[in-house]
Amino acid sequence: MQIDNDDERILAGEQGETRQKMLELLVALGKVFGAERLVPIRSAQVSGASYKTIGEFGLQWLNSLDATTVVPAVLNPIGMPRTRWQEMGIDADFARKQQAVVAAYERLGISLECTCTPYYLHETAFGDHLAWSESSAVSYANSVIGARTNREGGPSALAAALIGKTPCYGLHIEKNRKPHVVIDVQIATRDWTIADYGALGYHSGKLVGNRIPFFTGIRPDHDQLKALGAAMAATGAVALYHVEDITPEAQKTRYRIRDLEKIPVELREIANIFREVPVEAVALGCPHCSPEELGTLARLLAGKRVRKPLYIFASQGVIDANRKFVETIGKSGAKVYADTCMVVSPVMEQYKGIMVNSGKALAYVPDMCGGVARIGTTEECVKVAME
């Protein structure tokens, strides 16, 4: 693996033990995956931010590090809103430990924007190399933006943030970004919603596993692409997908899909995913809401009152830029929270039935929160919250 002179000096320990160890980690990873070099990255997104997932051992490891980031880097959602954790009913002991995790990352220079949608906050462009770790963010960056990132683990994303480079293998290389299988969606009878695309992703992830799918027969907008990719990354291991005539690489590259395996998907397969179960709370914003999604919720909730807990998650940056929507939503009794989400926060563990509009949340809520999940459209979720 080619190492330049600057990196040789880091490996020799000239910039401290933390940077030395972090570069050793990246080089070792590169050797395992056959990388010929390291590639400079535009930004990093670091998972392993919730105390619920990293625990005491992870916290101790973070506190042992001594270096600062050299590229913009954000955190994945943490286990609670940083400033409104009491309002959410978070246990004080958990909050203290979560604050210690956040402080450890802050000391390393990671921005405390804790989100799985960093693409709404920082410019990320076609062809940029990144080291992102949250699976839906990775899917969106690769597929919808046409940037290039493997799905990093928390430590390798952190190492990349501290070094400014990542090993150049996998999805950083053009030839590895070609589709492997065609998903032919044979449905065109109704206007599809975010939830429909989430359900399609939930179903398709199971069909394709870790292959790169090429979708035909659909015309999703950006929020629907986000829902599709997030769900596929949850039920499969899909870090990149293409949609005919829609996603940037499918537009720029004439992929030869004629010879690929073709999997048809019919309406009934998606309709089966929309099952009714008793609901105690509703949670929206998985992945974190876009400005448009907050606008839709403000319109649906204006002048109304919710009777069940309705949690809405978005990044602090998107909330700050859309205060009017957030105020309208707040007047209905629904709560908009930054920094955290329905899966990484312990807050949803108190409910036995949770309604979502996300295929990813449908997949994760049973394991991570212990409740039963039901998927419905955003309109249905709001209606159920008002019953």
Provide, rounded to whole angstroms, the least separation between the CB of residue 159 and ligand F3S. 21
Provide, rounded to whole angstroms, the least separation between the CB of residue 123 and ligand F3S. 20
Q: Please identify, using beta-carbon distances, which residue of 164 and 353 lies nearer to ligand F3S.
A: 353
Token pair, residue 318, equals 């998107």
CA distances to 15, 89, 184, 361, 369 from 230, rounded to whole Å, are 38, 28, 19, 9, 18
Residues 6+ apart with CB under 8 A from 174: none
Q: Please identify, using beta-carbon distances, which residue of 133 and 193 lies nearer to ligand F3S.
A: 133
Provide, rounded to whole angstroms, the least separation between the CB of residue 288 and ligand F3S. 6
Q: Please identify, using beta-carbon distances, which residue of 10 and 273 lies nearer to ligand F3S.
A: 273
Provide, rounded to whole angstroms, the least separation between the CB of residue 313 and ligand F3S. 6
Phi, psi for residue 271 in degrees, rounded to 5? -60, -35
Q: Please identify, using beta-carbon distances, which residue of 230 and 301 lies nearer to ligand F3S.
A: 230
Provide, rounded to whole angstroms, the least separation between the CB of residue 226 and ligand F3S. 9
Which among 301, 290, 281 is positioned nearest to 382, based on CA atoms?
301
Phi, psi for residue 347 in degrees, rounded to 5? -60, -35
Residues 6+ apart with CB under 8 A from 64: none
Q: Please identify, using beta-carbon distances, which residue of 65 and 343 lies nearer to ligand F3S.
A: 343
Provide, rounded to whole angstroms, the least separation between the CB of residue 360 and ligand F3S. 5
Provide, rounded to whole angstroms, the least separation between the CB of residue 47 and ligand F3S. 8
Provide, rounded to whole angstroms, the least separation between the CB of residue 341 and ligand F3S. 3
Instruction: Give the footprint of ligand F3S on this chain (CB under 6 A).
Output: 76-77, 116, 134, 136, 230, 286-288, 313, 341, 343-344, 360, 364
Which among 287, 138, 265, 271 is positioned nearest to 204, based on CA atoms?
265
Token pair, residue 90, equals 């978070």
Order of strands, sheet of 335-337, starting from the edge strand that comes earlier in the sequence: 335-337, 310-313, 281-284, 353-356, 372-375
Q: Please identify, using beta-carbon distances, which residue of 19 and 288 lies nearer to ligand F3S.
A: 288
Q: Please identify, using beta-carbon distances, which residue of 146 and 285 lies nearer to ligand F3S.
A: 285
Distance between CA 291 and CA 75 in Å, rounded? 20
Q: Please identify, using beta-carbon distances, which residue of 77 and 201 lies nearer to ligand F3S.
A: 77
Q: Is 313 helix (H, G, I), strand (E, B) or coil?
A: strand
Phi, psi for residue 253 in degrees, rounded to 5? -110, 135
| Beta strand ranges found along 144-296 (DSSP E) | 165-167, 181-186, 213-216, 242-243, 261-266, 281-284
Residues 6+ apart with CB under 8 A from 334: 297, 301, 306, 310, 311, 312, 385
| Contact yes or no for 75/103 (Cβ under 8 A) | no
Provide, rounded to whole angstroms, the least separation between the CB of residue 236 and ligand F3S. 15
Provide, rounded to whole angstroms, the least separation between the CB of residue 285 and ligand F3S. 6
Q: Please identify, using beta-carbon distances, which residue of 160 and 344 lies nearer to ligand F3S.
A: 344
Q: What is the number of other CB atoms lying within 10 angstroms of the CB of residue 71?
A: 18
| Contact yes or no for 107/209 (Cβ under 8 A) | no
Token pair, residue 71, equals 């590229």
Q: Please identify, using beta-carbon distances, which residue of 169 and 311 lies nearer to ligand F3S.
A: 311
